[in-house]
Structure 1
Amino acid sequence: MLIQVFVVLFLCINLLLITTFFSKDVFYTTMRYILFAVTLMSDSAVLQINLMLFLNVRYFTIQMWFCLILYIISSLCMVVTPVTLTAMTLERYVAICLPLRHAELCSPRSTLHGILIIYSLSSLPCISFLSIFLASSSSASYTQSGTCAGETFIIYTWQGPLMSAINQFYFLIMCITVVFSYVKIMRLAKAASGEDKKSTWRGLRTVGLHAFQQLLCLIQLWGPFIEAAVFKINVLLSIKVRFFNYITFILAPRCLSPLIYGLRDEMFFMP
Protein backbone atom coordinates (compact mmCIF):
# COMPACT_ATOMS: atom_id res chain seq x y z
CA MET A 1 0.00 0.00 0.00
CA LEU A 2 2.91 2.37 0.75
CA ILE A 3 4.28 1.77 -2.77
CA GLN A 4 0.90 2.63 -4.27
CA VAL A 5 0.88 5.93 -2.33
CA PHE A 6 4.16 6.86 -4.05
CA VAL A 7 2.66 5.79 -7.39
CA VAL A 8 -0.27 8.18 -6.88
CA LEU A 9 2.18 10.94 -5.87
CA PHE A 10 4.23 10.60 -9.05
CA LEU A 11 1.07 10.36 -11.14
CA CYS A 12 0.11 13.78 -9.74
CA ILE A 13 3.59 15.16 -10.56
CA ASN A 14 3.36 13.78 -14.11
CA LEU A 15 -0.11 15.29 -14.53
CA LEU A 16 1.22 18.68 -13.38
CA LEU A 17 4.12 18.54 -15.86
CA ILE A 18 1.85 17.43 -18.72
CA THR A 19 -0.55 20.28 -17.94
CA THR A 20 2.39 22.71 -17.94
CA PHE A 21 3.56 21.31 -21.29
CA PHE A 22 0.22 22.01 -22.95
CA SER A 23 0.02 25.49 -21.43
CA LYS A 24 3.18 26.91 -23.08
CA ASP A 25 3.66 27.29 -26.83
CA VAL A 26 7.46 27.04 -26.61
CA PHE A 27 7.19 23.34 -25.72
CA TYR A 28 5.34 22.54 -28.97
CA THR A 29 8.27 23.59 -31.15
CA THR A 30 11.12 21.94 -29.22
CA MET A 31 11.84 18.30 -29.94
CA ARG A 32 13.23 17.36 -26.53
CA TYR A 33 10.16 18.75 -24.73
CA ILE A 34 7.79 16.94 -27.08
CA LEU A 35 9.64 13.66 -26.56
CA PHE A 36 9.65 14.29 -22.81
CA ALA A 37 5.86 14.73 -22.93
CA VAL A 38 5.58 11.41 -24.81
CA THR A 39 7.64 9.76 -22.05
CA LEU A 40 5.49 11.32 -19.32
CA MET A 41 2.26 10.12 -20.92
CA SER A 42 3.53 6.56 -21.48
CA ASP A 43 4.94 6.41 -17.93
CA SER A 44 1.67 7.72 -16.50
CA ALA A 45 -0.26 5.05 -18.40
CA VAL A 46 2.03 2.32 -17.00
CA LEU A 47 1.73 3.65 -13.43
CA GLN A 48 -2.06 3.94 -13.73
CA ILE A 49 -2.46 0.42 -15.12
CA ASN A 50 -0.18 -1.06 -12.46
CA LEU A 51 -2.28 0.68 -9.80
CA MET A 52 -5.42 -0.84 -11.33
CA LEU A 53 -3.80 -4.30 -11.45
CA PHE A 54 -2.82 -3.98 -7.78
CA LEU A 55 -6.46 -3.29 -6.91
CA ASN A 56 -7.48 -6.17 -9.19
CA VAL A 57 -5.28 -8.63 -7.28
CA ARG A 58 -6.42 -7.38 -3.86
CA TYR A 59 -10.10 -6.55 -4.22
CA PHE A 60 -11.85 -7.59 -7.44
CA THR A 61 -11.65 -9.57 -10.67
CA ILE A 62 -11.95 -8.31 -14.23
CA GLN A 63 -13.01 -9.90 -17.50
CA MET A 64 -10.31 -11.02 -19.90
CA TRP A 65 -11.37 -8.68 -22.73
CA PHE A 66 -10.67 -5.71 -20.46
CA CYS A 67 -7.47 -7.37 -19.24
CA LEU A 68 -6.41 -7.71 -22.88
CA ILE A 69 -6.91 -3.97 -23.47
CA LEU A 70 -4.88 -3.13 -20.35
CA TYR A 71 -2.13 -5.52 -21.41
CA ILE A 72 -1.91 -4.01 -24.91
CA ILE A 73 -1.60 -0.47 -23.53
CA SER A 74 0.84 -1.50 -20.80
CA SER A 75 3.12 -3.60 -23.02
CA LEU A 76 3.17 -0.84 -25.66
CA CYS A 77 4.04 1.89 -23.14
CA MET A 78 6.67 -0.34 -21.50
CA VAL A 79 8.64 -0.24 -24.74
CA VAL A 80 7.75 3.34 -25.68
CA THR A 81 9.72 4.75 -22.73
CA PRO A 82 13.16 3.23 -23.53
CA VAL A 83 12.71 3.86 -27.27
CA THR A 84 11.79 7.50 -26.58
CA LEU A 85 14.77 7.86 -24.25
CA THR A 86 16.95 6.62 -27.11
CA ALA A 87 15.43 9.29 -29.37
CA MET A 88 16.06 11.93 -26.69
CA THR A 89 19.69 10.80 -26.48
CA LEU A 90 20.04 11.17 -30.25
CA GLU A 91 18.50 14.65 -30.02
CA ARG A 92 21.15 15.66 -27.46
CA TYR A 93 23.83 14.17 -29.74
CA VAL A 94 22.62 16.24 -32.70
CA ALA A 95 22.28 19.41 -30.57
CA ILE A 96 25.84 19.13 -29.22
CA CYS A 97 27.79 17.43 -31.99
CA LEU A 98 25.87 18.71 -35.05
CA PRO A 99 24.54 22.12 -33.91
CA LEU A 100 24.29 23.52 -37.46
CA ARG A 101 21.90 20.71 -38.49
CA HIS A 102 19.89 20.64 -35.25
CA ALA A 103 17.14 22.97 -36.49
CA GLU A 104 16.72 20.85 -39.64
CA LEU A 105 16.89 17.38 -38.07
CA CYS A 106 14.88 18.24 -34.94
CA SER A 107 12.09 20.36 -36.41
CA PRO A 108 8.44 19.84 -35.30
CA ARG A 109 7.77 17.94 -38.53
CA SER A 110 10.73 15.62 -37.92
CA THR A 111 9.55 15.19 -34.32
CA LEU A 112 6.12 14.03 -35.54
CA HIS A 113 7.75 11.51 -37.87
CA GLY A 114 9.97 10.40 -34.99
CA ILE A 115 6.96 9.80 -32.71
CA LEU A 116 5.30 7.68 -35.42
CA ILE A 117 8.50 5.64 -35.72
CA ILE A 118 8.73 5.28 -31.93
CA TYR A 119 5.19 3.90 -31.63
CA SER A 120 5.62 1.67 -34.67
CA LEU A 121 8.79 0.09 -33.27
CA SER A 122 7.27 -0.19 -29.80
CA SER A 123 4.17 -1.98 -31.09
CA LEU A 124 6.06 -4.79 -32.86
CA PRO A 125 6.76 -6.93 -29.73
CA CYS A 126 3.15 -6.52 -28.57
CA ILE A 127 1.73 -7.39 -32.01
CA SER A 128 3.93 -10.47 -32.40
CA PHE A 129 3.01 -11.72 -28.92
CA LEU A 130 -0.73 -11.05 -28.97
CA SER A 131 -1.32 -12.24 -32.54
CA ILE A 132 -0.48 -15.75 -31.31
CA PHE A 133 -2.98 -15.47 -28.45
CA LEU A 134 -5.74 -14.01 -30.63
CA ALA A 135 -5.27 -16.75 -33.23
CA SER A 136 -5.35 -19.58 -30.66
CA SER A 137 -7.88 -18.49 -28.02
CA SER A 138 -11.63 -19.12 -28.14
CA SER A 139 -14.22 -16.33 -28.03
CA ALA A 140 -15.57 -17.68 -24.71
CA SER A 141 -12.26 -16.94 -22.97
CA TYR A 142 -12.77 -13.18 -23.33
CA THR A 143 -15.80 -13.18 -21.01
CA GLN A 144 -14.08 -15.11 -18.20
CA SER A 145 -13.24 -13.20 -15.03
CA GLY A 146 -10.05 -13.49 -13.02
CA THR A 147 -6.78 -11.86 -12.09
CA CYS A 148 -5.15 -9.95 -14.93
CA ALA A 149 -1.53 -10.96 -15.59
CA GLY A 150 0.75 -11.26 -18.60
CA GLU A 151 1.01 -15.02 -18.11
CA THR A 152 -2.66 -15.28 -19.07
CA PHE A 153 -1.77 -14.71 -22.73
CA ILE A 154 1.01 -17.31 -22.90
CA ILE A 155 -0.34 -20.40 -24.66
CA TYR A 156 2.78 -22.07 -26.08
CA THR A 157 6.10 -22.61 -24.34
CA TRP A 158 8.03 -21.16 -27.28
CA GLN A 159 6.40 -17.75 -26.81
CA GLY A 160 8.83 -17.04 -23.98
CA PRO A 161 12.01 -17.58 -26.06
CA LEU A 162 10.46 -15.60 -28.93
CA MET A 163 9.81 -12.56 -26.73
CA SER A 164 13.26 -12.96 -25.17
CA ALA A 165 14.89 -12.82 -28.62
CA ILE A 166 12.90 -9.72 -29.60
CA ASN A 167 13.67 -7.95 -26.32
CA GLN A 168 17.38 -8.75 -26.53
CA PHE A 169 17.49 -7.38 -30.08
CA TYR A 170 15.88 -4.13 -28.91
CA PHE A 171 18.24 -4.05 -25.92
CA LEU A 172 21.30 -4.38 -28.19
CA ILE A 173 20.22 -1.69 -30.67
CA MET A 174 19.32 0.84 -27.99
CA CYS A 175 22.50 0.21 -25.99
CA ILE A 176 24.66 0.70 -29.08
CA THR A 177 22.86 3.98 -29.85
CA VAL A 178 23.26 5.35 -26.31
CA VAL A 179 26.93 4.33 -26.01
CA PHE A 180 27.72 5.85 -29.44
CA SER A 181 26.06 9.16 -28.48
CA TYR A 182 27.72 9.23 -25.06
CA VAL A 183 31.21 8.60 -26.46
CA LYS A 184 30.80 11.26 -29.18
CA ILE A 185 29.56 13.87 -26.69
CA MET A 186 32.35 13.00 -24.22
CA ARG A 187 35.02 13.49 -26.89
CA LEU A 188 33.55 16.87 -27.80
CA ALA A 189 33.31 17.86 -24.12
CA LYS A 190 37.02 17.22 -23.61
CA ALA A 191 37.93 19.29 -26.67
CA ALA A 192 35.56 22.20 -25.93
CA SER A 193 36.44 25.31 -23.93
CA GLY A 194 34.66 28.09 -22.01
CA GLU A 195 30.88 28.24 -22.28
CA ASP A 196 30.83 25.51 -24.92
CA LYS A 197 32.57 23.15 -22.51
CA LYS A 198 30.07 23.91 -19.74
CA SER A 199 27.10 23.37 -22.08
CA THR A 200 28.59 20.17 -23.47
CA TRP A 201 29.21 18.68 -20.04
CA ARG A 202 25.64 19.55 -19.05
CA GLY A 203 24.42 17.65 -22.10
CA LEU A 204 26.73 14.78 -21.20
CA ARG A 205 25.21 14.56 -17.71
CA THR A 206 21.73 14.51 -19.23
CA VAL A 207 22.70 11.68 -21.58
CA GLY A 208 24.23 9.82 -18.63
CA LEU A 209 21.00 10.13 -16.64
CA HIS A 210 19.07 8.96 -19.71
CA ALA A 211 21.39 5.96 -19.99
CA PHE A 212 20.85 5.01 -16.33
CA GLN A 213 17.09 5.34 -16.63
CA GLN A 214 17.11 3.45 -19.90
CA LEU A 215 19.21 0.65 -18.40
CA LEU A 216 16.57 0.12 -15.72
CA CYS A 217 13.83 0.05 -18.38
CA LEU A 218 15.74 -2.42 -20.54
CA ILE A 219 16.53 -4.77 -17.65
CA GLN A 220 12.78 -4.88 -17.04
CA LEU A 221 12.40 -6.56 -20.46
CA TRP A 222 14.25 -9.57 -19.01
CA GLY A 223 12.20 -9.57 -15.80
CA PRO A 224 9.55 -12.16 -16.77
CA PHE A 225 12.17 -14.71 -17.83
CA ILE A 226 14.22 -14.22 -14.66
CA GLU A 227 11.06 -14.65 -12.59
CA ALA A 228 10.10 -17.82 -14.51
CA ALA A 229 13.55 -19.33 -13.90
CA VAL A 230 13.43 -18.51 -10.17
CA PHE A 231 9.86 -19.87 -9.94
CA LYS A 232 11.14 -23.32 -10.92
CA ILE A 233 13.59 -23.19 -8.00
CA ASN A 234 11.54 -21.59 -5.21
CA VAL A 235 7.99 -20.19 -5.35
CA LEU A 236 8.38 -17.83 -2.35
CA LEU A 237 11.69 -16.52 -3.69
CA SER A 238 10.09 -15.87 -7.09
CA ILE A 239 7.42 -13.70 -5.41
CA LYS A 240 10.13 -11.61 -3.73
CA VAL A 241 12.07 -11.33 -6.99
CA ARG A 242 8.94 -10.25 -8.82
CA PHE A 243 8.23 -7.54 -6.23
CA PHE A 244 11.85 -6.35 -6.43
CA ASN A 245 11.68 -6.21 -10.24
CA TYR A 246 8.37 -4.33 -10.03
CA ILE A 247 9.84 -1.61 -7.81
CA THR A 248 13.32 -1.38 -9.36
CA PHE A 249 12.71 -1.87 -13.07
CA ILE A 250 9.08 -0.80 -13.60
CA LEU A 251 8.25 1.89 -11.04
CA ALA A 252 11.69 3.46 -10.42
CA PRO A 253 12.62 4.41 -14.02
CA ARG A 254 9.13 5.83 -14.62
CA CYS A 255 9.35 7.91 -11.48
CA LEU A 256 12.77 9.21 -12.54
CA SER A 257 11.46 10.95 -15.68
CA PRO A 258 9.97 14.01 -13.91
CA LEU A 259 12.98 14.21 -11.58
CA ILE A 260 15.65 13.96 -14.31
CA TYR A 261 14.10 16.14 -16.98
CA GLY A 262 11.08 18.05 -15.68
CA LEU A 263 11.96 19.32 -12.21
CA ARG A 264 15.55 20.13 -13.30
CA ASP A 265 14.36 22.34 -16.16
CA GLU A 266 13.71 26.00 -15.38
CA MET A 267 11.31 26.29 -18.34
CA PHE A 268 8.64 24.35 -16.41
CA PHE A 269 8.71 26.91 -13.60
CA MET A 270 8.77 30.10 -15.64
CA PRO A 271 5.48 32.05 -15.66
Structure 2
Amino acid sequence: MLINDTLQILSSVLLFLCAMAQLRFALLLCVPLLFLSTGTFQNTNLILAVMSLERYVAIFYPLQRPTFWRSDRIWIIILSLWVISFTFPITEFFLGKQNPAADVLLSHVLCKAVVVNSLPVQGLFRAAVSVLFFAVVAVVILFTYVRILMETRKLRQDRASVRKALHTVLLHGLQLLLCMLAFTHPFTETLIVMHTKWLQEDIAFFNYFCFILFPRFLSPLIYGFRDQSLRKHIQNRFARHPQKVRC
Protein backbone atom coordinates (compact mmCIF):
# COMPACT_ATOMS: atom_id res chain seq x y z
CA MET A 1 0.00 0.00 0.00
CA LEU A 2 2.80 2.41 0.91
CA ILE A 3 4.75 1.68 -2.28
CA ASN A 4 1.62 2.00 -4.40
CA ASP A 5 0.59 5.35 -2.88
CA THR A 6 4.15 6.67 -3.14
CA LEU A 7 4.32 5.85 -6.84
CA GLN A 8 0.86 7.32 -7.36
CA ILE A 9 1.76 10.60 -5.69
CA LEU A 10 5.09 10.90 -7.51
CA SER A 11 3.60 10.22 -10.93
CA SER A 12 0.52 12.39 -10.41
CA VAL A 13 2.56 15.31 -9.06
CA LEU A 14 4.93 15.09 -12.03
CA LEU A 15 2.03 15.01 -14.49
CA PHE A 16 0.31 17.89 -12.72
CA LEU A 17 3.42 20.07 -12.79
CA CYS A 18 3.96 19.34 -16.48
CA ALA A 19 0.34 20.21 -17.24
CA MET A 20 0.53 23.44 -15.24
CA ALA A 21 3.71 24.43 -17.07
CA GLN A 22 2.13 23.51 -20.42
CA LEU A 23 5.11 21.26 -21.03
CA ARG A 24 4.83 19.08 -24.10
CA PHE A 25 6.89 15.95 -24.57
CA ALA A 26 6.82 12.74 -26.57
CA LEU A 27 4.06 10.20 -26.16
CA LEU A 28 6.81 7.65 -25.70
CA LEU A 29 7.48 9.24 -22.29
CA CYS A 30 3.98 10.46 -21.55
CA VAL A 31 2.11 7.19 -21.95
CA PRO A 32 4.13 5.21 -19.34
CA LEU A 33 3.58 8.03 -16.84
CA LEU A 34 -0.15 7.94 -17.49
CA PHE A 35 -0.15 4.16 -17.14
CA LEU A 36 1.67 4.43 -13.81
CA SER A 37 -0.59 7.15 -12.44
CA THR A 38 -3.84 5.48 -13.50
CA GLY A 39 -2.73 1.97 -12.62
CA THR A 40 -1.63 2.86 -9.10
CA PHE A 41 -4.83 4.85 -8.57
CA GLN A 42 -6.95 1.84 -9.48
CA ASN A 43 -4.68 -0.49 -7.54
CA THR A 44 -5.45 1.37 -4.32
CA ASN A 45 -9.05 0.19 -4.48
CA LEU A 46 -8.07 -3.42 -5.05
CA ILE A 47 -5.59 -3.30 -2.18
CA LEU A 48 -8.34 -2.03 0.14
CA ALA A 49 -10.57 -4.93 -0.90
CA VAL A 50 -7.81 -7.50 -0.35
CA MET A 51 -6.92 -6.03 3.05
CA SER A 52 -10.56 -6.30 4.11
CA LEU A 53 -10.71 -9.90 2.90
CA GLU A 54 -7.50 -10.63 4.80
CA ARG A 55 -9.17 -9.50 8.03
CA TYR A 56 -12.19 -11.62 7.16
CA VAL A 57 -10.05 -14.72 6.58
CA ALA A 58 -8.09 -14.10 9.79
CA ILE A 59 -11.31 -14.01 11.84
CA PHE A 60 -13.25 -16.86 10.24
CA TYR A 61 -10.40 -19.17 9.21
CA PRO A 62 -7.60 -18.59 11.73
CA LEU A 63 -6.24 -22.15 11.52
CA GLN A 64 -7.26 -23.09 7.99
CA ARG A 65 -6.09 -20.21 5.86
CA PRO A 66 -6.00 -20.78 2.10
CA THR A 67 -2.56 -21.42 0.65
CA PHE A 68 -2.34 -18.14 -1.22
CA TRP A 69 -3.00 -16.17 1.99
CA ARG A 70 0.19 -17.44 3.59
CA SER A 71 3.02 -14.95 4.02
CA ASP A 72 5.27 -16.82 1.58
CA ARG A 73 2.57 -16.84 -1.12
CA ILE A 74 1.10 -13.37 -0.69
CA TRP A 75 3.26 -12.11 -3.56
CA ILE A 76 0.93 -13.96 -5.94
CA ILE A 77 -2.01 -11.82 -4.83
CA ILE A 78 0.06 -8.63 -4.98
CA LEU A 79 1.30 -9.42 -8.48
CA SER A 80 -2.25 -10.21 -9.62
CA LEU A 81 -3.50 -6.86 -8.33
CA TRP A 82 -0.81 -4.95 -10.22
CA VAL A 83 -1.51 -6.87 -13.44
CA ILE A 84 -5.26 -6.22 -13.20
CA SER A 85 -4.77 -2.53 -12.37
CA PHE A 86 -2.47 -1.87 -15.33
CA THR A 87 -4.51 -3.89 -17.80
CA PHE A 88 -7.30 -1.31 -17.93
CA PRO A 89 -5.25 1.85 -18.70
CA ILE A 90 -3.34 -0.07 -21.38
CA THR A 91 -6.63 -1.24 -22.90
CA GLU A 92 -8.02 2.28 -22.78
CA PHE A 93 -5.01 3.63 -24.66
CA PHE A 94 -5.23 1.05 -27.44
CA LEU A 95 -8.94 1.71 -27.86
CA GLY A 96 -7.86 5.01 -29.44
CA LYS A 97 -5.50 3.42 -31.91
CA GLN A 98 -7.57 4.73 -34.79
CA ASN A 99 -6.81 8.26 -33.63
CA PRO A 100 -3.96 9.58 -35.86
CA ALA A 101 -2.55 11.68 -33.01
CA ALA A 102 -2.10 8.58 -30.87
CA ASP A 103 -0.29 6.56 -33.53
CA VAL A 104 2.86 8.65 -33.64
CA LEU A 105 4.69 7.87 -30.41
CA LEU A 106 7.27 10.56 -31.02
CA SER A 107 4.76 13.39 -31.42
CA HIS A 108 4.87 15.97 -28.62
CA VAL A 109 1.62 16.49 -26.71
CA LEU A 110 0.38 17.93 -23.45
CA CYS A 111 0.59 14.91 -21.15
CA LYS A 112 -2.96 14.66 -19.84
CA ALA A 113 -5.33 11.71 -19.96
CA VAL A 114 -8.05 13.77 -21.65
CA VAL A 115 -5.58 14.75 -24.38
CA VAL A 116 -3.93 11.39 -25.03
CA ASN A 117 -7.18 9.43 -24.62
CA SER A 118 -9.50 11.94 -26.23
CA LEU A 119 -11.99 9.69 -28.01
CA PRO A 120 -15.51 9.39 -26.55
CA VAL A 121 -15.20 5.61 -26.34
CA GLN A 122 -12.09 6.01 -24.22
CA GLY A 123 -13.85 8.39 -21.84
CA LEU A 124 -16.78 5.98 -21.57
CA PHE A 125 -14.43 3.07 -20.93
CA ARG A 126 -12.57 5.08 -18.25
CA ALA A 127 -15.80 5.97 -16.45
CA ALA A 128 -17.11 2.39 -16.63
CA VAL A 129 -13.88 0.97 -15.20
CA SER A 130 -13.87 3.49 -12.35
CA VAL A 131 -17.47 2.70 -11.44
CA LEU A 132 -16.77 -1.03 -11.65
CA PHE A 133 -13.70 -0.81 -9.41
CA PHE A 134 -15.42 1.24 -6.74
CA ALA A 135 -18.58 -0.86 -6.84
CA VAL A 136 -16.69 -4.14 -6.41
CA VAL A 137 -14.53 -2.77 -3.60
CA ALA A 138 -17.54 -1.23 -1.84
CA VAL A 139 -19.40 -4.56 -1.96
CA VAL A 140 -16.37 -6.44 -0.60
CA ILE A 141 -15.83 -3.97 2.25
CA LEU A 142 -19.53 -3.91 3.12
CA PHE A 143 -19.72 -7.71 3.07
CA THR A 144 -16.69 -8.18 5.31
CA TYR A 145 -17.86 -5.45 7.69
CA VAL A 146 -21.33 -6.97 8.11
CA ARG A 147 -19.97 -10.50 8.54
CA ILE A 148 -17.42 -9.43 11.15
CA LEU A 149 -20.07 -7.34 12.91
CA MET A 150 -22.33 -10.38 13.13
CA GLU A 151 -19.42 -12.43 14.44
CA THR A 152 -18.79 -9.99 17.28
CA ARG A 153 -22.29 -10.66 18.58
CA LYS A 154 -21.74 -14.42 18.58
CA LEU A 155 -18.32 -14.62 20.17
CA ARG A 156 -17.90 -14.29 23.88
CA GLN A 157 -14.16 -14.76 23.87
CA ASP A 158 -11.50 -12.87 21.98
CA ARG A 159 -13.93 -10.05 21.25
CA ALA A 160 -11.08 -7.54 21.32
CA SER A 161 -9.40 -8.95 18.21
CA VAL A 162 -12.71 -9.16 16.37
CA ARG A 163 -13.53 -5.55 17.23
CA LYS A 164 -10.08 -4.51 16.07
CA ALA A 165 -10.69 -6.23 12.74
CA LEU A 166 -14.06 -4.49 12.54
CA HIS A 167 -12.44 -1.10 13.02
CA THR A 168 -9.82 -1.96 10.40
CA VAL A 169 -12.46 -2.78 7.79
CA LEU A 170 -14.29 0.43 8.69
CA LEU A 171 -11.10 2.38 8.04
CA HIS A 172 -10.80 0.71 4.64
CA GLY A 173 -14.29 1.99 3.87
CA LEU A 174 -13.22 5.48 4.92
CA GLN A 175 -10.22 5.24 2.62
CA LEU A 176 -12.49 4.23 -0.24
CA LEU A 177 -14.62 7.32 0.35
CA LEU A 178 -11.48 9.46 0.34
CA CYS A 179 -10.47 7.95 -3.00
CA MET A 180 -13.90 8.74 -4.40
CA LEU A 181 -13.25 12.44 -3.79
CA ALA A 182 -11.07 12.38 -6.91
CA PHE A 183 -14.24 12.04 -9.00
CA THR A 184 -15.87 15.16 -7.55
CA HIS A 185 -13.50 17.64 -9.19
CA PRO A 186 -15.66 18.20 -12.33
CA PHE A 187 -18.55 19.33 -10.12
CA THR A 188 -16.38 21.49 -7.88
CA GLU A 189 -14.72 23.03 -10.92
CA THR A 190 -18.13 23.98 -12.31
CA LEU A 191 -19.20 25.50 -8.99
CA ILE A 192 -15.97 27.48 -8.66
CA VAL A 193 -16.29 28.87 -12.18
CA MET A 194 -19.90 29.88 -11.52
CA HIS A 195 -19.27 31.64 -8.19
CA THR A 196 -15.70 32.92 -8.38
CA LYS A 197 -13.32 34.59 -10.80
CA TRP A 198 -10.37 32.30 -10.22
CA LEU A 199 -7.87 31.62 -12.96
CA GLN A 200 -7.94 28.20 -14.60
CA GLU A 201 -4.55 27.37 -13.09
CA ASP A 202 -5.78 28.21 -9.59
CA ILE A 203 -8.87 26.03 -10.03
CA ALA A 204 -6.75 23.12 -11.26
CA PHE A 205 -4.37 23.44 -8.31
CA PHE A 206 -7.24 23.67 -5.81
CA ASN A 207 -8.93 20.56 -7.17
CA TYR A 208 -5.70 18.59 -7.37
CA PHE A 209 -4.63 19.45 -3.83
CA CYS A 210 -8.02 18.97 -2.14
CA PHE A 211 -9.38 15.95 -3.99
CA ILE A 212 -6.30 13.96 -5.03
CA LEU A 213 -3.30 14.81 -2.86
CA PHE A 214 -5.03 15.53 0.45
CA PRO A 215 -6.87 12.16 0.66
CA ARG A 216 -3.57 10.39 -0.05
CA PHE A 217 -1.93 12.21 2.84
CA LEU A 218 -4.78 11.37 5.19
CA SER A 219 -4.49 7.60 4.75
CA PRO A 220 -1.05 7.16 6.37
CA LEU A 221 -2.05 9.58 9.13
CA ILE A 222 -5.16 7.55 9.92
CA TYR A 223 -3.23 4.30 10.11
CA GLY A 224 -0.35 5.95 11.95
CA PHE A 225 -2.53 7.23 14.77
CA ARG A 226 -3.93 3.72 15.23
CA ASP A 227 -0.47 2.50 16.16
CA GLN A 228 -0.14 2.69 19.92
CA SER A 229 3.62 3.29 19.96
CA LEU A 230 3.38 6.12 17.44
CA ARG A 231 0.41 7.65 19.21
CA LYS A 232 2.25 7.49 22.52
CA HIS A 233 5.32 9.09 20.95
CA ILE A 234 3.22 11.95 19.53
CA GLN A 235 1.52 12.49 22.88
CA ASN A 236 4.86 12.62 24.65
CA ARG A 237 6.21 14.94 21.99
CA PHE A 238 3.47 17.53 22.13
CA ALA A 239 2.17 17.12 25.66
CA ARG A 240 2.87 20.03 27.92
CA HIS A 241 4.32 18.82 31.18
CA PRO A 242 4.05 21.32 34.00
CA GLN A 243 7.44 22.32 35.25
CA LYS A 244 8.16 21.85 38.91
CA VAL A 245 8.78 25.03 40.80
CA ARG A 246 11.87 24.83 42.93
CA CYS A 247 11.76 26.67 46.22
Report the TM range for the smaller structure's normalisation.
0.7 to 0.9
- Larger mean CA deviation between 113-122 and 83-92 belongs to 113-122
**Which segments of structure 1 move beyond 3 Å, counting only runs of 4 or more?**
57-60, 102-105, 137-147, 226-231, 233-245, 260-269
- Residue type matched to 1:207 in 2? V
1:208 aligned partner: 170
Quick check: which one's helix share is greater? 1
In structure 1, stretches of 5+ residues that fail to align are 1-38
1:63 partner SS: strand
Pick from 79, 91, 96: which aligns with 1:116?
79
Equivalent pair of 1:216/1:253 in contact (CA under 8 Å): yes
**TM-score (norm. length: structure 2):** 0.76
Pick from 138, 145, 156: which aligns with 1:175?
138
Question: Which whole-Å CA distance do the structure 2 matches of 1:227 and 1:144 have between them?
Answer: 32
Equivalent pair of 1:227/1:242 in contact (CA under 8 Å): no
**TM-score (norm. length: structure 1):** 0.70
In structure 2, stretches of 5+ residues that fail to align are 232-247
Matched, 1:187 2:155: no
Instruction: Check 1:147–1:207 CA distance in 2 against 1; reply closer, same or farther (3 A cut).
Output: same
Matched, 1:254 2:209: no
Question: Which whole-Å CA distance do the structure 2 matches of 1:237 and 1:171 have between them?
Answer: 32
Equivalent pair of 1:64/1:141 in contact (CA under 8 Å): no
Deviation at 1:228, TM superposition (A): 11
Deviations 1:193-214 (A, max 9, x none): 35x1111111111111111101
Equivalent pair of 2:48/2:137 in contact (CA under 8 Å): no
- Residue type matched to 2:10 in 1? Q
Instruction: Check 1:144–1:81 CA distance in 2 against 1; reply closer, same or farther (3 A cut).
Output: same
Equivalent pair of 2:52/2:172 in contact (CA under 8 Å): yes
Deviations 1:22-66 (A, max 9, x none): xxxxxxxxxxxxxxxxx1111111211232234324446241322
RMSD between aligned residues: 3.3
Equivalent pair of 1:216/1:248 in contact (CA under 8 Å): no
- Residue type matched to 2:15 in 1? L
Deviation at 1:74, TM superposition (A): 0.4
For these two proteins, the number of residue pairs brought into alignment is 227
Deviation at 1:266, TM superposition (A): 6.1
Pick from 35, 40, 46: which aligns with 1:83?
46
Instruction: Check 1:237–1:96 CA distance in 2 against 1; reply closer, same or farther (3 A cut).
Output: farther
1:193 partner SS: coil
Deviations 1:208-264 (A, max 9, x none): 1111101222453x457x459949x85968957755543344223322332233564
> Over alpha carbons, which structure has the higher Rg?
2
Question: Which whole-Å CA distance do the structure 1 matches of 2:102 and 2:126 have between them?
Answer: 24
